[in-house]
């Protein structure tokens, strides 16, 4: 092979190599672009996936929140109902620290219970909302409870007043339907006088009375028997305020009432009062005077009653 031929062949090889290199560059560029496009596509898919995941997470979080809310509502309700049940159970199972003796005084069941106590009671209601509220306001001020002995005919006329007493947390007692002397009545008549009050009080407040006081303190053996059959604790009183003997025009009724009570006062006193304007007027002074003498106000729920 001559020098000329060799030169020609070398030139041809160089040209061929250049062409091959030129064709390879676009291919490489195309492959890079495809790779970038693929990465972008994958990134988009990943972002979409992340976005979808985040969206799902937010939705899940929202659902969890809503679900928590939905779950919490019944749970809160359950807690409230549970608390109400506990309160009801607490009321139902109040420790019976006291009983009444034959003179209707409040007596501790065991050593350690406070002896210097009084039981507050109000008869012949319910009468007037203003007076009831005034009496209960004073009781609340002194953290005291009292038994409100009601007559059936008054409850029939004004059931809202009975509900007022009950709603304000004061115990309600049975004082017969018509406020008549029961000791000379037949058992049928006495049952009607007592049991109709039991029914109307329960229908109005949801709770039947557990205390019974015969009108005029005269229930007789039949009254005791019927009261016991109805799960009622029979009582009269051991200290009378004599507020029922006072007249509207009588001066110094507050001082007279204070004197009447304090002169008879003794540990365990079962104090008889009435829903009367002058009694309501004197009540704050009376309770203050009792506290100053070292007396506490017994909760009627802590007194033993017959098993019904």
Closest C-alpha among 123, 235, 122, 222 to residue 182: 222
DSSP 8-state code for residue 119: E
- Written as six digits, the tokens of 152 are 């059936």
Q: Per DSSP, what are the bridge partners of residue 303?
A: 98
The CA-to-CA distance between both ends of the chain, in Å, stands at: 138
The CA-CA-CA angle for residues 170, 171, 172, to 5°, reads: 120
Closest C-alpha among 139, 205, 136, 209 to residue 173: 209
Q: In whole angstroms, give the CA distance from residue 179 to residue 201.
A: 16
Which candidate in 124, 274, 284, 299 is catalytic? 274
221 is catalytic: no
Q: In whole angstroms, give the CA distance from residue 196 to residue 249.
A: 36
Do residues 211 and 149 lie in contact, with contact meaning Cβ atoms separated by under 8 Å?
yes
DSSP 8-state code for residue 301: G
Do residues 177 and 152 lie in contact, with contact meaning Cβ atoms separated by under 8 Å?
yes
Which candidate in 34, 123, 142, 221 is catalytic? 123
123 is catalytic: yes
Q: Annotated active-site positions, please?
A: 123, 274
């Amino acid at each position: 092979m001559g020098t000329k031929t060799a030169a020609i062949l070398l030139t041809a090889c160089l040209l061929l190599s250049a062409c091959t290199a030129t064709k390879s560059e676009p291919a490489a560029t195309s492959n890079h672009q495809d790779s970038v496009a693929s990465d972008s596509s994958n990134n988009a898919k990943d972002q979409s996936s992340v976005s979808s995941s985040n969206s799902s997470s937010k939705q899940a979080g929202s659902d969890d929140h809503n679900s928590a809310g939905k779950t919490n509502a019944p749970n809160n309700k359950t807690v409230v109902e549970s608390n109400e049940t506990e309160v009801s159970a607490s009321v139902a199972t109040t420790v019976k620290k006291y009983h009444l003796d034959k003179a209707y005084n409040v007596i501790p069941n065991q050593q350690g219970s406070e002896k210097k106590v009084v039981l507050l009671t109000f008869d012949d209601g319910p009468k007037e909302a203003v007076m009831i509220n005034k009496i209960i306001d004073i009781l609340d001020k002194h953290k005291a409870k009292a038994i409100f002995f009601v007559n059936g005919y008054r409850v029939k006329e004004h059931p809202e007043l009975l509900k007022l007493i009950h709603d304000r947390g004061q115990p309600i007692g049975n004082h017969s339907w018509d406020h008549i002397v029961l000791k000379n009545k037949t058992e049928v008549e006495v049952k009607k006088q007592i049991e109709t009050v039991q029914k109307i009080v329960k229908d109005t407040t949801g709770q039947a009375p557990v205390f019974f006081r015969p009108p005029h303190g005269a229930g007789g053996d039949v009254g005791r028997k019927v009261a016991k059959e109805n799960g009622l604790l029979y009582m009269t009183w051991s200290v009378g305020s004599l507020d029922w003997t006072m007249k509207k025009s009588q001066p110094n009724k507050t001082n007279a009432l204070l004197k009447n009570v304090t002169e008879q006062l003794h540990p365990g006193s079962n104090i008889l009062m009435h829903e009367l304007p002058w009694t309501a007027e004197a009540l704050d002074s009376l309770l203050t005077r009792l506290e100053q003498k070292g007396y506490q106000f017994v909760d009627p729920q802590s007194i033993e009653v017959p098993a019904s």
